[in-house]
Amino acid sequence: MKSKLEYIWLDGYQPTQSLRSKTMVRNNFGGTLEECPMWSFDGSSTEQAEGNASDCLLKPVFIIPDPDRKNAYLVMTEVLNADGTAHVSNGRATIDEADDDDDFWFGFEQEYFLWDPITNLPPGFPANGYPAPQGPYYCSVGAKNAYCREMIDEHFDMCLEAGLNVEGINAEVAAGQWEYQIFAKSAKRAGDEIWLSRYLLERVGEKYGLSIEWGPKPLGDTDWNGSGMHANFSNGAMRDSGKEEIFTKICEEFGKNIERHISVYGADNDQRLTGKHETQAIDEFSYGVSDRGASIRIPVGTVEDGWKGRLEDRRPASNADPYKVAAAIVKTTNEAMAK
């Protein structure tokens, strides 16, 4: 039997990378990562190489069944230079191998807008104006407030069928805006799953004639919320020690490293992190229990469980690379724990 392997990678476009993919056919494929060979592509067509030395390599790192094609798989890959070293565009390689174990757990809340390429607006937005102000759309039901649920549910089902650890979905605060959540007990695995879920969302959108707007503030300077990718995270000490001082120490360390985080938390995030619409200003830092206007929110459940649980960094934008976000969070948290 012949199987289709869709190799997926991130291109070299700046400041925000795009997903690319191409299909390989294999005979008698058993569905394992070990059976996926290295492959190459023309990096001069993806802003990753010059034409006179255009070969870049694709190293398979994660595989799931493709729920939308027969006898098919989705293969997440890392981009390498021709000599086998990590390409500069390879965000996954920024996660230290020594830190990528089951000590760090991540839960990403991926927000996004559906986008009509004809009207250049989200579904639910009239051609020459705005719908009713935000408020009724969040977790809504009914054709007046919830848009394109059929597409959203199809994506949800695809992710679950493929084995991605999606833990939930909901309509967000603006018309045509949605969210899903993914959890993993590894920084790299969390990034792999977010990228593959994004790929599936883009592909299902093709069926409905809708693109996905990953930008953090696509509606500009208006009174509509932007889109984030809130990063919930914990390590063993946070989950088990029951010490408030550990959470305080970590939050304080984050406050000392604003630029480290903001530099990888997504392009145009300054348009979203304004201090309005449930955000803290991009150049300021704060943390607090149950505070959605803070840079880092300490969930009330963490406190009620005797200071055992997680933190939520609310600053990452919807278009951020989850690999780079996780790498920065792991680095700063480890620095705090070492003091």
pLDDT digits (tens, 9 = 90+) for 20-69: 999 999 999 999 999 999 999 999 999 999 978 899 999 999 999 999 99
Tell me the average pLDDT across 208-220: 96
Would you state the pLDDT for residue 129? 81
Q: List the one residue out of 91, 319, 331, 98 whose CA is nearest residue 215.
A: 319
Residues near 98 by Cβ (< 8 Å), separated by ≥ 6? none
Of 128-132, 176-180, 225-229, 305-309, give the lowest mean pLDDT range.
128-132
Q: Does the pLDDT at position 98 exceed 80?
A: no
Q: Does the pLDDT at position 100 exceed 80?
A: no
In the structure encoding, which two tokens stand for residue 252, read together? 């304080």
Q: List the one residue out of 23, 194, 49 whose CA is nearest residue 107.
A: 194
Question: Band of the pLDDT at 128, cuts 50, 70, 90?
Answer: confident
**Amino acid found at 50:** E
Would you state the pLDDT for residue 227? 96
Q: In terms of pLDDT, which residue wins out, 3 or 98?
A: 3
Would you state the pLDDT for residue 277? 72
* Exposure on the CB side of residue 44, measured as CA atoms within 13 A: 6
* Boundary (domain end) residue, out of 34, 66, 94: 94
Identify whether residues 181 and 49 lie together within a single domain. no
Identify whether residues 114 and 46 lie together within a single domain. no
Would you state the pLDDT for residue 101? 80
Identify whether residues 35 and 75 lie together within a single domain. yes
Q: In terms of pLDDT, which residue wins out, 52 or 189?
A: 189
Phi-psi region of 277 (alpha: psi -120 to 50; beta: other; left: phi over 0): left
Tell me the average pLDDT across 112-126: 95
Question: Band of the pLDDT at 306, cuts 50, 70, 90?
Answer: very high
Identify whether residues 293 and 192 lie together within a single domain. yes
Would you state the pLDDT for residue 254? 98
Percent of the chain past pLDDT 70, that is, above it, reads: 100
Q: CATH number of the domain that 257 lies in?
A: 3.30.590.10
Q: List the one residue out of 45, 9, 96 whose CA is nearest residue 321.
A: 9
Q: Tell me whether strands 287-289 and 296-298 are parallel, antiparallel or unpaired.
A: parallel
Identify whether residues 68 and 179 lie together within a single domain. no
Task: Give the domain extent around 294.
Answer: 97-337
Identify whether residues 300 and 173 lie together within a single domain. yes
Would you state the pLDDT for residue 72? 98
Q: Does the pLDDT at position 127 exceed 90?
A: no
Would you state the pLDDT for residue 165? 98
Q: Does the pLDDT at position 114 exceed 90?
A: yes
Identify whether residues 200 and 129 lie together within a single domain. yes
Classify burial at 197, counting beta carbons within 10 Å of its beta carbon; exposed 0-12, middle 13-18, buried 19 or more: buried
Strand partners of residue 80? 57, 86
Q: Does the pLDDT at position 339 exceed 90?
A: no
Q: How many domains does the chain have?
A: 2
In the structure encoding, which two tokens stand for residue 72, read together? 């098919």
Tell me what the pLDDT averaged over the chain comes to.
96
* Boundary (domain end) residue, out of 94, 123, 143: 94
pLDDT digits (tens, 9 = 90+) for 219-274: 988 888 899 999 999 999 999 999 999 999 999 999 999 999 999 999 999 999 99
Q: List the one residue out of 91, 140, 153 whose CA is nearest residue 319.
A: 91
* Boundary (domain end) residue, out of 45, 63, 94: 94
* CA–CA separation, 73 and 7 (whole Å): 9
Question: Band of the pLDDT at 215, cuts 50, 70, 90?
Answer: very high
* CA–CA separation, 255 and 287 (whole Å): 9
Tell me the average pLDDT across 114-137: 92
